[in-house]
Amino acid sequence: MFGKLGDGTANNRPTPVPVQGLTDVVAVAAGWDHSLALRADGTVWAWGRNDLGQLGDGTAISRHTPLPVLGLTDVVAVAAGGWHSLALRADGTVWAWGYNSYGQLGDGTTTNRHTPVPVLGLTDVVAVAAGGDHSLALRADGTVWAWGVNGCGQLGDGTTTNRHTPVPVRGLTDVVAVAAGAAHSLALRADGTVWAWGWNDCGQLGDGTTSDRHTPVPVRGLTGVVAVAAGEYHSLALRADGTVWAWGWNRFGQLGDGTTANRHTPVLVPGLTDVVAVAAGGDHSLALRADGTVWAWGYNSSGQLGDGTTTHRHTPVRVQLP
């Protein structure tokens, strides 16, 4: 639907297919119904759903193949939220486009934007993340800034007030990476600990409770973490030893522990070793191993696990790469 696979059709695919017309890609991001690619020349390309301007091409027309986002150069990182998109430029500024009813574009308004606009008041940014309707930025000084919807405390400023421009997340220093789920947020600190805040109904904050948190709390029992990822209602962490840990909602097996029981603290994803990167979709999870193989688990009704089936998987299965 909406052409989010970029292969020129609107057909679901149970195994990977090439996105048409893209070369020299160095990074990718996926929103709920749209996709982004960053090329080595610093341009951003987008495809999929576009009714709210999330493709940044100046229209509201969905696209089945990639088109360039207008007016962006020197981009070094991209992030895709529910229906909005973010780009980090080499000069440390952040640009945003798409849905903006909660201020998630950070331009001081609630007006949807069909082309990129600058996020106000942010400099020296080194990483960005986009949640359902909120956004995060990591600055070079190790602080985290947030904007957009805040009904569950996902901005981490101690309130539940929506913010149309960035505000600092309280009590976080020495952060090296951030991730954003539907209504929760994660931060990885330089000491290898993970901190979480926002909605926690399914245990996605990993603090052993189901209480929402308006400021960051430590995820229990995790050390030596080198990367984090946030799905819709679940979270992932990659440890330096190459193991993957997961917590939160697990109805479709997206935690990969062989069950469908929600977990309020991290559990080991069994059978995975030598992992070097992780990613989380809405209700599924992915891991890249050092041998170049990709493994997936969780929701699979549209073939998002890439194993040639539409069967949900409660433990990792290998993606059938061409």
**Nearest one of 173, 216, 30 to 46, comparing CA atoms:** 30
pTM for the model stands at 0.98
Tell me how far apart the 2 most distant CA atoms of the chain are, in Å. Answer: 48
d(CA 3, CA 321): 20
Specify the pLDDT at position 243. 98
CB 192 within 8 A of CB 245: no
pLDDT in tens, 60-69: 999 999 999 9
Helices (DSSP H) in the chain: which residue ranges? none
pLDDT given at position 168: 98
Report the C-alpha gap between 54 and 100 in whole angstroms. Answer: 10
- pLDDT tens-place values along the chain, 322 residues long: 899 999 999 999 999 999 999 999 999 999 999 999 999 999 999 999 999 999 999 999 999 999 999 999 999 999 999 999 999 999 999 999 999 999 999 999 999 999 999 999 999 999 999 999 999 999 999 999 999 999 999 999 999 999 999 999 999 999 999 999 999 999 999 999 999 999 999 999 999 999 999 999 999 999 999 999 999 999 999 999 999 999 999 999 999 999 999 999 999 999 999 999 999 999 999 999 999 999 999 999 999 999 999 999 999 999 999 8
pLDDT at 71: 96
Sheet holding 263-268, edge to edge: 225-230, 234-239, 244-248, 263-268
